Amino acid sequence: MSAQSNTVTKILELIREDRLPGGAHLTAQKLADRLRLSRSPVNDALGILEQHGIVARKPNRGYFLQHDFDALPAAPADLADLTPPSADDIVTQSYFKLADELLRGQMPMQCSEAQLRVRYALTQAQTQALLARVSQEGWAQRRPGYGWEFSSMMTTPDSLLQSYRLRLALEPAALLEPSFRIEKSVIERCRAAEKHLLDGGIATDTADQLHDRGVRFHESLVEASGNPFFIDTIKRVNRVRRLLSYRSMQDRTRYRQHCDQHLAILDLLERERNEEAAAELSRHLRSTLDNLARISGLLQG
């Protein structure tokens, strides 16, 4: 599946996940924020959905859903052939190739822009966009004088352990903030995502989808704290953690337990039993720490 058709599929999944009715306004910026993309690939995907009659574009107003969520068709099989990949798509594809090669030890820890440009067949602007992204996420920095250096911080098994320890310290505490408020719609959205996985998504979702669903769950809880320092820290950890998470997707047996734990936390928050929810969240993160030996083995492989 191309990056473009993958974006279309993800938008359809969000529509179903949020149970949107016909006529719902699909805002490109909100979709881009949810999918962690720029608006350009999202607008391209909305244009494709318009060609297939799934959304309608109204001048100066944007895109609107034509059908209720439960009447949506599957993503058309020929989506990838409608338009060529956008510049953002190309940069995203190169980002994941670079991340995978770095984790596999197939990429030198130091390189130049020219080497990256040749390696991934990029333009100069695309290479700079790629480096800007990895630099912002904290796993590459410009070397004094010439070239770039990748951080070894995110290529060792200890990095995954350390990232979970930080989350263990912060996430349960976020649930106990005096300003914590979580909307019922957020609880329902998170609950629907977990039930989707239990109904078969664990086996069929892509690694991207599995990672993003987990990130959305945990960030939704932290965002409800209203504490910008908690929110900023967890989002930064999750951006960098993506590189490590893909290797752990090779073993999906643990996801059913994760879903059950997520649902238990949501049930407690819905009843405003935040202290119990924080304790359950702590147990959930600790259970992941207990599995790190297996995950670390996958990372090294």
Q: Would you place residue 254 in the very low, low, confident or very high pLDDT band (cuts 50, 70, 90)?
A: confident
Q: What is the pLDDT averaged over residues 147-160?
A: 73
Tell me: pLDDT of 68 over 80: yes
Q: Beta-carbon neighbour count of residue 108 at 10 Å?
A: 11
What pLDDT shows up at residue 266? 98
Report DSSP state, residue 198: I
Cα 114 to Cα 297: distance, rounded to the nearest angstrom: 33
Identify the CA nearest to 129 among candidates 83, 85, 84, 94: 94
**Mean pLDDT over residues 111-137, rounded?**
89
Q: What is the pLDDT of residue 231?
A: 94
Q: Which has the closest alpha carbon to 133: 85, 84, 99? A: 99
How would you class 156 by CB atoms within 10 Å of its CB: exposed for 0-12, middle for 13-18, buried for 19 or more?
Answer: middle
Element (H, E) at 134: helix 124-136
pTM score of the predicted model: 0.59
Is 42 within 8 Å of 28 (Cβ atoms)? yes
pLDDT value of position 167? 93
Burial 196-218 (b: 16+ CB within 10 A, else e): bbeeebbeebebbbbbbbbbbbb
Residue 67 and residue 32: Cα distance in Å, rounded?
21
CA angle 295, 37, 113 (to 5 degrees): 80
Higher-pLDDT residue of 198, 294: 198
What whole-number distance in Å separates Cα of residue 217 and Cα of residue 194?
Answer: 9
Residue 245 has pLDDT above 80, yes or no: no
Please give the mean pLDDT across all residues of the chain: 83
pLDDT at 282: 96
User: Which of 31-35, 155-159, 257-261, 285-289 has the highest mean predicted lDDT (pLDDT)?
Assistant: 257-261
What does the alpha-carbon distance between residue 213 and residue 136 come to, in Å, rounded to a whole number?
22
- What's the average model confidence in pLDDT over 111-130? 91
Residue 298: pLDDT above 50? no
Q: What percent of the chain has pLDDT over 90?
A: 37
Q: What is the pLDDT of residues 6-42, one digit of tens each?
A: 788 889 888 888 889 989 999 888 898 888 888 888 8
Going along the chain from its start, the domains and CATH numbers come out as 3-81 (1.10.10.10), 87-153 (1.10.10.10), 157-300 (1.20.120.530)
pLDDT band at 121 (very low <50, low <70, confident <90, very high): confident
- Identify the pLDDT of residue 3: 59
Higher confidence at residue 207 or residue 20? Answer: 20
What is the rounded distance in angstroms from the CA atom of residue 129 to the CA atom of residue 122? Answer: 10
Lowest mean pLDDT segment, chosen from 40-44, 214-218, 256-260 = 40-44
* Per-residue pLDDT tens over the stretch 218-242: 999 999 999 999 999 998 888 767 6
